[in-house]
Amino acid sequence: MPQTCSRGSVTCEFFYSVLFIATTPLELLLNQFKNFLIIILLAAAIVSAVVGSPTDAFVIILIVVLAALLGFFQEHRAGKDIEALKQMTAPTAMVLRGGVELEVQARELVVGDVLVFRSGDRVAADCRLVEAFNLRVDESALTGESVTVGKNASVVKEKTTLGDRRNMVFMGTTVTEGRGLGVVTAVGMRSEFGEIGGMLSEIEVMRTPLQKNLDRLGRWIGILTLLVVGIVSLLGVLRGYGWVDMFVWGVALAVAAVPEALPAVVTVGLALGVRRMVKRHALVRQLPAVETLGATTVICTDKTGTLTENKMTVRQIYANFRRIGITGVGYTPEGSFWYMDGGANWDDGDAVIDVSNDNVLRSVLVTGVLCNDSSLSQVDGEWRVTGDPTEAALVVAAAKAGLLKSELESSCKRVDEVPFSSERKHMITIHQMPEGRCAHLKGAPEVVLDKCTSYLRESGVEGLGSRRDEMLGEAHGMAENGLRVIALAYKMLQDPDDDLSSGFVFAGLVGMIDPPRKEAEEAIETCTNAGIKTVVITGDHVSTAKAVASELGLVAENEKILSGEKLDEMNDEDFGRIVEDVKVYARTSPHHKLRVIDALQKRGHVVAMTGDGVNDAPALKKADIGVAMGITGTDVSKESSDMILTDDNFASIVAAVEEGRNIFKNIRNFITYGLAIHIAEVLIVLATMLAGLPLPLIAIQILWINLVTDGLPPLTLSLEPPDEGIMHQHPRHKSEGIITNRVLLYSGLIGVLITLQALILFLWHISDLLRAQSIVFTLVVVSSMFNALNWRSEKRSIFKLKPFSNPPLWYAITATLLLQLAVLYTPLQSAFHTTSLTSLDWVWIILFSATTLIAGESMKYIEAKREKPNKRHIAQKPSLTT
């Protein structure tokens, strides 16, 4: 190890260096203009400016710039991933150099430095321990394990998993107690923490299904626009129109065919969805992620703090050869004690225990409180603990029986102690009790029982003898059920120098677990009904993972749990064959999580990943949508995510999925609505040109129709509430685009219908061309309003919907009709080349336009009759294999 060090004497790869080189802001901004639809709109703006329509060009360019800036700010936030990583690392470290303890900048550390660790320190580099005294480290942010880890300087096997490397401490973790010395083995990119940063920088950000769908739609519209404009312009010239006139008409038709408001409407629709989701405890960082949730087929979730409370809780006590259950979750000292034997339930009055009358149970609880360095307190109405979570669980359990630590310690002063160490695996505290001096012992069951010669029964103390194996078997059974097992014992001391290696009285066993959230089971069931599979990926032990998953109803008793070690033994082909069947992964590392997500994505799944620790960050970024926890989540996990659950409640993801499905439905609905109008505009002009008739719509009228029909109505359609049964449908396949054959059929039929309406009225009044054009102009706008009512729901009749469940839509329709009146009469009449309409004209316009609503209702009715009963309300697992 070096005695001195200079920064120029080592290779730069050893330095605590920057982990990621971000794309420049200019590059991010220019990338926004690679969208094909944006390119079409820019071309339309240029042409509009050239032919003397600067206002149209300005509006189009303004929409494009706003959309680009929004995308820029979204992607710019992604660069904060690594900034959050750097914030979590220790800025300074205590290092031994030349026999002197020095405080140095963490970035100056090199391999071979010797670091000093004390309670409360943030570890600044990966280190191999050479000394460890009662050293415990919180590695939950790195491994996901919910309890602190005891460390020692022993030798471990070469391929030991990350969570079991007891002789190592890792950069970014926190020392909770004890002290130690360690030799730096890796810094910067070579550390476990740095490897996570490397994985983050290497993961390609996946485009969401919505982004891909809009790109396909843009290309489709672009090709058709060029084709239609070319045909119309050529026909116009052949009919005797001048090239300049036809160029202007071509631009008008191009603007008519291209839904220039689509990017803005989609963005605003997503933003409104985000606002609704905030009220349901979900904060979206990337707008398209809302829609992606609607297509999710698998949710890969971390266990600790996501499905569980992240609060160790005593669930079971074994004392006096009886199993005792404890109700209550978390740190609130409320709960009951009850006998679990004989199939009794906790609410069975005969099974409930009065702790004050049970001396054995009371002894277990008292020993657990006194042999303990944690505390429980109430701050602003909330119960909080300090110290080790395992010890805190013992304090809370005793408080449920009315045994408060502050009161016990006041009457039972601690006079000496033997602190816990990883080597000893036990802790002893000595107290001056009212009945004399007493030693209280807490530790691993086999260690505690080795020190015991007797055990406590209600009738008194009896010799341990062969009962030891029975008690060890009980401890083993509790551990197999996922409980963390602690044994407790005591010894009355006759002399201060009494031997503490034997002679203890065994009091009992305590089993604790980080319990599942009460909302999680219901949320998982809802996801199952919605055709979404839930997969648990955790760093915890297999038994713990299985216990929690079983309690949540995720796995049956005989289902296997796949460990990270077993996963490493499989090649990708073998793993691909079983990945669909595995529901729980245990003892995993960040690499394992990435591998699971990759395997699922290769099989066609849209994968959401929830998590809260640094270890979850690469998987959050790799997944189609990453969901971080807002309260317990680290900055790294939040910055790597697309969405944050502000209440850390897995159940909130159900609301997010529902909102995602509804947003996609609404986007499809208002696009279908808009396509019908654009198809009608093009067909009206194309049909009259082919027939050699005067044009029924002039260029400025086409632009006006686009303005009023592509503005407020589609925006308010995005506010429609979810259809009934939306969470009983299976997820759509990710390859399913916004534009389906059904969308083309519906929009095409409605577009043809509006075209026929317009041509009939136009030919009827063609003797008065200005009046005929005004009638057609108004008819298209009014028909589009009836069509907006059609698309309040994709399949349900408008007469089965609550009429005023979406008031903004009615406001939008009213505002659009009032604007149309403004261009039909003074003062805008001359600007739009219109004339006033008679009452009879309005009657015909309304009657013809109403057939749009009738046609939409008829198509829904026919489709409903053709569908099998309840087909759309049954969640089925789609075929996703590729």
Query: What is the three-class DSSP state of 662?
Result: helix
Q: Is the pLDDT of residue 27 over 90?
A: no
Question: Bridge partners of 611?
Answer: 628
pLDDT band (50, 70, 90) for residue 14? very low
Q: If pLDDT is split at 50, 70 and 90, which confidence band does 879 have? A: very low
Last residue of a domain, one of 648, 674, 695: 648
Domain boundary among 468, 498, 513: 513
Across 20-46, average pLDDT:
66
Q: What is the DSSP letter of 752?
A: H
* Interval 195-216: pLDDT, tens: 776 666 565 555 655 666 666 7
Is residue 541 one of the residues assigned to a domain?
A: yes
**Concatenated DSSP letters for 840-877?**
HHHHHHHHHHHHHHHHHHHHHHHHHHHSPTTGGGS--P
Reported confidence tier of residue 247, pLDDT bands at 50, 70, 90:
low
- Residues 244/47, Cβ–Cβ less than 8 Å: no
How many angstroms separate the Cα of 498 from the Cα of each of 413, 439, 494, 631, 654? 18, 10, 7, 48, 60
Which residues, 6 or more positions from 879, have their beta carbon under 8 angstroms from its beta carbon?
none
Q: How far apart are CA 498 and CA 453, in angstroms?
A: 15
Asked whether residue 271 falls in the same domain as residue 356, the answer is no
Considering the domain architecture, whether residues 667 and 785 belong to the same structural domain is answered as yes
Kindly state whether residue 9 falls inside one of the protein's structural domains.
Answer: no
Confidence of residue 20 (pLDDT cuts 50, 70, 90): very low
- 639 & 550 share domain: yes
In a shared domain, residues 684 and 744 = yes
| Residues 375/394, Cβ–Cβ less than 8 Å | no
Give how far Cα 705 sits from Cα of 17, 624, 644, 699, 775, Å.
57, 38, 40, 10, 13
Same domain, 358 and 272: no
Angle at 82 between CA 184 and CA 124, to 5 degrees: 20
Could you tell me if residue 877 is inside a domain? no
C-alpha distance from residue 107 to each of 124, 317, 537 (Å): 9, 48, 33
Q: Please give the sequence-ordered ranges of beta strands (E in DSSP) within 221-343, or none if there are none.
A: 282-284, 298-301, 313-319, 322-326, 337-339
Token pair 């029964």 is found at 457
Residue 198 included in any domain: no
For 713-728, how does the pLDDT look when each residue is reduced to its tens digit (9 = 90+)? 988 898 898 888 888 8
The answer to whether residues 106 and 152 belong to one domain is: yes
Report whether pLDDT(347) > 80. Answer: no
> Do the bridges between strand 584-586 and strand 562-563 make them parallel or antiparallel, or are there none, so unpaired?
parallel
What distance in Å separates the CA atoms of residue 184 and residue 774, rounded to the nearest whole number? 82
Encode pLDDT of 581-591 as tens digits.
999 999 888 88
Q: What does the pLDDT look like over 140-194, one tens digit per residue? A: 767 766 678 889 998 988 878 787 899 999 988 888 888 899 999 998 778 887 7
Question: Whole domain around residue 594: which residue ranges?
Answer: 293-308+517-648
Mean pLDDT of 316-337: 93
Residue 93 maps to which CATH number?
Answer: 2.70.150.10
Question: Given this model, what pLDDT does residue 818 score?
Answer: 94
**How far, in Å, CA of 524 to CA of 751, rounded?**
43
805-823: per-residue pLDDT in tens?
A: 999 999 999 999 999 999 9
3-state secondary structure of 383: strand
SS3 category, 761: helix
User: Which band of pLDDT confidence, cut at 50, 70 and 90, is reported for residue 882?
Assistant: very low
Rounded to an integer, what distance in angstroms lies between the CA atom of residue 647 and that of residue 624? 22
Active site residues: 302
Assess whether 148 and 226 both reside in one domain. no
Residue 4 confidence (pLDDT): 36
Specify the pairing of strand 413-418 against strand 168-169: unpaired
Residue 846's pLDDT is what? 97
Q: % helix / strand / coil in the chain, to the nearest 5?
A: 50, 20, 35
Lowest-confidence range among 49-53, 609-613, 793-797? Answer: 49-53
Please tell me the distance from the alpha carbon of residue 553 to that of residue 550, in angstroms, as a whole number. Answer: 5
pLDDT of 15 above 50: no
| Average pLDDT of every residue of the chain | 82
**pLDDT reported for residue 359:** 93
Please confirm whether the linkage preceding 722 is cis (ω < 30° from 0). Answer: no
Q: Looking at the 3D structure of the chain, how many domains does it have?
A: 5
* 203 part of a folded domain: no
| Per-residue pLDDT at 310 exceeds 60 | yes
CA distance 9 to 142: 31
**What six digits make up the tokens of 718?**
């995005």
Going from the C-alpha of 208 to that of each of 76, 160, 161, 318, 738, the distances in angstroms are: 17, 37, 34, 52, 13
Q: Same domain, yes or no, for 683 and 822?
A: yes
Last residue of one domain, picked from the residues 158, 191, 224: 191
The answer on pLDDT for 580 being more than 80 is yes
Task: Give the CATH number for residue 580.
Answer: 3.40.50.1000
Digit-coded pLDDT (tens) for 674-683: 889 988 988 8
The whole-number pLDDT of residue 7 equals 33
Residue 754 lies in a domain: yes
The domain that holds 234 is classified in CATH as 1.20.1110.10
Sort strands 452-457 and 504-513 into parallel, antiparallel or unpaired: parallel
Bridge partner list, 378: 383
Of 630-634, 784-788, 878-882, give the lowest mean pLDDT range. 878-882
Query: Which tokens in the block code for residue 364?
Result: 């277990």
Q: What is the pLDDT of residues 74-130, one digit of tens each?
A: 455 434 443 443 444 346 789 998 888 888 888 888 999 999 998 878 888 999 999
d(Cα 289, Cα 620) in Å, to the nearest integer? 12
| Distance between CA atoms of residues 38 and 650, nearest Å | 37
User: Residue 873: pLDDT above 50?
Assistant: no
Q: What is the pLDDT of residues 473-503, one digit of tens each?
A: 999 999 988 899 999 999 999 887 788 999 9
Q: Is the Cβ–Cβ distance between 106 and 17 less than 8 Å?
A: no
Cα separations in angstroms, 113 against 88, 104, 125, 182, 750: 21, 11, 10, 8, 75
Q: Kindly state whether residue 696 falls inside one of the protein's structural domains.
A: yes
d(CA 80, CA 636): 8
State whether 302 and 323 are in the same domain.
no
Q: What is the dihedral of CA 872, 877, 881, 882, to 10 degrees?
A: 10
CATH code for the domain of 366: 3.40.1110.10
Cα separation of 20 and 644, whole Å? 23
Calculate Rg over the CA atoms of the chain: 35
pLDDT of residue 263: 67
Per mean pLDDT, which range of 67-81, 243-257, 428-442 is the poorest? 67-81
Show Cβ contacts of residue 148 under 8 Å, excluding neighbours closer than 6 positions. Answer: 136, 137, 138, 139, 176, 177, 388, 389, 390
Same domain? For 377 and 299 the reply is: no
Where do the H-state alpha helices sit in 187-242? 192-202, 209-238
Lowest mean pLDDT among 9-23, 619-633, 742-756: 9-23
Band of the pLDDT at 451, cuts 50, 70, 90?
A: very high
Q: How many CB atoms lie within 10 A of CB 172?
A: 25
Residues 96 and 166 reside in one and the same domain = yes
Helix (H) / strand (E) element for 782: namely helix 769-790
Which amino acid belongs to residue 98?
A: G
Q: Is 622 inside a domain boundary?
A: yes
Left if phi > 0, otherwise alpha if psi is -120 to 50, otherwise beta: which for 281?
left
State the Cα torsion 781-783-784-790 to the nearest 10°. Answer: 160
Task: Tally Cβ neighbours within 10 Å of residue 547.
Answer: 23
660 φ, ψ (degrees, to nearest 5): -65, -45
Q: Are residues 689 and 823 in the same domain?
A: yes
State the alpha helices, DSSP H only, in 791-838. Answer: 807-824
For position 736, what pLDDT does the model report?
76
Tell me which residue has tokens 């950069």. Answer: 171
How much is the average pLDDT of 649-671?
86
Mean pLDDT within 322-350: 79
Whether the per-residue pLDDT at 44 is higher than 70: the answer is no
Among residues 734, 728, 729, 738, the alpha carbon closest in space to that of 881 is found at 734
